[in-house]
């Protein structure tokens, strides 16, 4: 019997050019332009108000310098390299704390999600810690770990670890029992079951947790730097405010916004890539 009768086995058509994976799809580009086009006017109105309010005397220019002045200061700070120094330090602290959280939360979450006894033993503790704000704990970290790097890394770790842990547990618990059964029937060992079935099943949930965790880490390091630090974007903002160098302060705030934007875009792209097997939009032969 030939397969010619079954349309679903047709080989997909070959095209002379296919879009490299790193380029966004045309539909994505179109959608983005559309989104920006619609969203931009509101942002421009805000920028205009920011520029005009101090110039027209609606607000005190000392506390609220016009946007053009802030952007000029921002340009100077970029040119002098000062800005990147602070950005680098803040990102490094957040990255170390977040990295530690990944190393701790994922193995722990895999165990807690898989073994009920393990979860019962630790769940109450986790829930207690999770509901204690990392900001409230900041003075404790500083008292115990000092005002150096350790206390900042500790708070970024604390800020991310529970997002990762809880989402890893949820991910492990949502593993399809049929996948476990199929894996068992093929003679999968316990170790391979963890590596090759449970972990990949949990990846979408873990990545979603990581996205929240990264943001939380970044916000926490800024807060920590405002309280006790001699460097970092948080320190820059706080210190400029104290010195009444408000154009620098706003430049710092704007920088933070841009970093947040880029980070979120990167994380969304990473999430899409890590879970691309879920994609159903370019369904082939159905």
Partner 1 sequence: MSASVATTPPVNRAATSRIAISDVRKTFQLKPGQSVTLDGKVSDRIPVLSGVDLDIRQGEFVTIVGPSGSGKSVLLDIIAGLTQPTGGFAAIDGRKVVRPHPETAYVFQQYALFPWRTALQNIEYPLEVRGVGRAERRERAQHFLNLFGLRGFEDRYPSQLSGGMQQRVAIARALATDPQVLLMDEPFAALDAQTRDILQSELLRIWEQIKTTVVFVTHSIDEAIFLADRIVVMTARPARVKESIEVDLPRPRDIEIRNGAAFNAYRARVWDALREEVRKAQRDWALASAYNA
Residues that bind partner 1 (CB under 8 A): 1, 3, 5-6, 8-9, 11-12, 178-179, 181-189, 192, 196-197, 200-201, 203, 276-280, 282-286
Query: Do residues 8 and 283 touch, judged by C-beta distance below 8 A?
Result: no
Q: CB-wise, 85 or 188, nearer to partner 1?
A: 188
d(CA 172, CA 167): 9
Q: CB-wise, 38 or 281, nearer to partner 1?
A: 281
d(CA 160, CA 134): 10
d(CA 74, CA 214): 25
Smallest distance from the beta carbon of 99 to partner 1, in angstroms?
Answer: 24
Q: Residue 258 is encoded by which pair of tokens?
A: 């841009």
Smallest distance from the beta carbon of 286 to partner 1, in angstroms?
Answer: 5
Neighbours of 175 (CB within 10 A): 19
Q: CB-wise, 73 or 201, nearer to partner 1?
A: 201
Smallest distance from the beta carbon of 118 to partner 1, in angstroms?
Answer: 22
Query: Do residues 234 and 225 touch, judged by C-beta distance below 8 A?
Result: yes
Q: CB-wise, 19 or 184, nearer to partner 1?
A: 184
Smallest distance from the beta carbon of 163 to partner 1, in angstroms?
Answer: 22
Q: CB-wise, 5 or 27, nearer to partner 1?
A: 5
Query: Do residues 170 and 147 touch, judged by C-beta distance below 8 A?
Result: no
Smallest distance from the beta carbon of 93 to partner 1, in angstroms?
Answer: 33
Element (H, E) at 217: helix 199-227
Smallest distance from the beta carbon of 30 to partner 1, in angstroms?
Answer: 23
Q: How far is CA 2 from CA 5, 7, 285, in A?
A: 7, 12, 18
d(CA 64, CA 249): 10
Q: CB-wise, 1 or 56, nearer to partner 1?
A: 1
């Amino acid at each position: 019997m030939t397969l010619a009768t079954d349309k679903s086995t047709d080989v997909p058509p070959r095209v002379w050019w296919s879009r490299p994976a790193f380029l966004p799809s045309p539909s994505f580009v179109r959608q983005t332009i559309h989104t920006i086009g619609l969203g931009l006017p509101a942002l421009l109105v805000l920028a205009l108000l920011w520029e005009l309010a101090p110039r027209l005397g609606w607000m005190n220019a000392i506390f609220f310098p016009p946007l053009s002045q802030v952007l000029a200061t921002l340009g100077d700070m970029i040119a002098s390299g000062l800005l990147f120094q602070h950005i680098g330090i803040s990102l490094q602290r957040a990255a170390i704390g977040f990295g530690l959280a990944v190393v701790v939360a994922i193995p722990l979450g895999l165990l807690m999600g898989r073994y009920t006894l393990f979860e019962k033993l630790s769940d109450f503790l986790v829930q207690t810690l999770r509901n204690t704000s990392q900001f409230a704990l900041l003075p404790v970290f500083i008292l115990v770990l000092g005002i150096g790097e350790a206390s900042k890394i500790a708070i970024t770790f604390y800020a991310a670890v529970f997002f990762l842990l809880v989402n890893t547990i949820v991910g492990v618990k949502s593993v399809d029992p049929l996948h476990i059964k199929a894996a068992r029937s093929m003679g999968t060992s316990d170790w391979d079951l963890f590596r090759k079935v449970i972990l990949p099943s949990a990846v979408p949930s873990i990545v979603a947790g990581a996205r929240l965790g990264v943001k939380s880490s970044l916000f926490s390091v800024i807060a920590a730097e405002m309280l006790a630090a001699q460097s970092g974007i948080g320190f820059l903002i706080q210190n400029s405010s104290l010195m009444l160098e408000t154009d620098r302060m706003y430049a710092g705030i704007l920088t933070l916004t841009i970093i947040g934007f880029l980070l979120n875009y990167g994380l969304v792209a990473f999430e899409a890539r890590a879970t691309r097997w879920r994609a159903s939009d370019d369904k082939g032969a159905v």
